[in-house]
Amino acid sequence: MSYANPESLVSTNWVKDNLKNPNVRIVEVNVDPKVYDAGHVPGAISLSWVTQLQDQVARDIVGQSGFEQLLSDAGINPSDTVILYGDNNNWFAAYGYWLFKIYGHTDVRLMNGGRAKWLSEDDKQLTTDRPTFPHSTYKITKIRPELRAKVPEVLEVTATKRANLVDVRSVDEYTGKIIAPPGMTETAQRAGHVPGAKNIPWAQSVNPDGTFKSAEDLRTLYANAGVDFSKPAIAYCRIGERSSHTWFVLRELLGVADVKNYDGSWTEYGNLIGAPIEKNV
């Protein structure tokens, strides 16, 4: 069994072989730019999940004009092959992938294993050089809002059960023992999970080296947890980055036809007045 969309992934070796390809643009998506400054894949630019991929006033994704400006400033063209990678097994890179897809970029891919995989291989080098590229004029011609779930749809699914709800957080977050991962600010008033959600922690989908498990192993993982592949799916976590990783698995690797990332996730849902919540503690 192979991945449904194998072209959505590239290996570290593929990236190394295409470092000089003028049609390939490499992007490190990070939270802390100091990581990029300390060393990155040669030719990679840095995009901050905090300051560039998020609206800086509303809690929302960067808007269309902001995304166009961001990519224009980076010298990225709509025809470019964009390769994304990052820390945390590509959490934030997967979020970037999801965002590129929302805004209709045709050819965007993840480097399988992310930064950790690159660092683990002796023939892969890092650089502190900051590349510069000619300014482009990036224009979005297609937006895909169907890749994103919002509160009304999540509430509707809790009532109708017409779609899979996949909670990708840790077991302790899902059961309501804790609200946020250790060391993270607790940004919700209530703990627990969306009623009917299946708990498949995101980390169960990757190998020890950070690469994705095989299609067969992934399908078994989700099927055993009760995911019905004939139904649409909505993935969520705390702030939408871990769930974008699972969104990528379900949509691109397993080929579920209708998958949405609920990026509001628990920081939104756990603060809603009157929203139903389940706990297991």
Mean pLDDT, residues 78-92 taken together: 96
What is the residue type of 114? G
What DSSP string runs through 236-263? Answer: E-SSSHHHHHHHHIIIIIS--SSEEE-T
- The widest CA-to-CA distance across the chain, in whole angstroms, is 56
What count of residues does the chain have? 281
Mean pLDDT, residues 122-130 taken together: 96
**Catalytically annotated residues:** 237
Residue position matching structure tokens 């628990």: 266
Instruction: Measure the CA–CA gap between 212 and 9, rounded to whole angstroms.
Output: 10
Check whether 160 has a pLDDT greater than 90: yes
Residue 256 has a pLDDT of 97
Q: Which helix (H) or strand (E) holds 233?
A: strand 233-236
Q: Mean pLDDT, the chain, as a whole number? A: 96
Domains by residue range for the chain, with CATH: 6-145 (3.40.250.10), 148-269 (3.40.250.10)
pLDDT confidence band for 184 (50 / 70 / 90):
confident
Q: Which residues contact 74 (CB under 8 A, 6 or more apart)?
A: 25, 27, 45, 47, 133, 136
Instruction: Measure the CA–CA gap between 277 and 78, rounded to whole angstroms.
Output: 42
**pLDDT tens digits, residue range 89-106?**
999 999 999 999 999 999
**pLDDT tens digits, residue range 222-272?**
999 999 999 999 999 999 999 999 999 999 999 999 999 999 999 999 999
Environment class of residue 162 by beta-carbon count within 10 Å: exposed (0-12), middle (13-18) or buried (19+)?
A: exposed
Contact call for residues 28 and 44 (beta carbons, < 8 A): yes
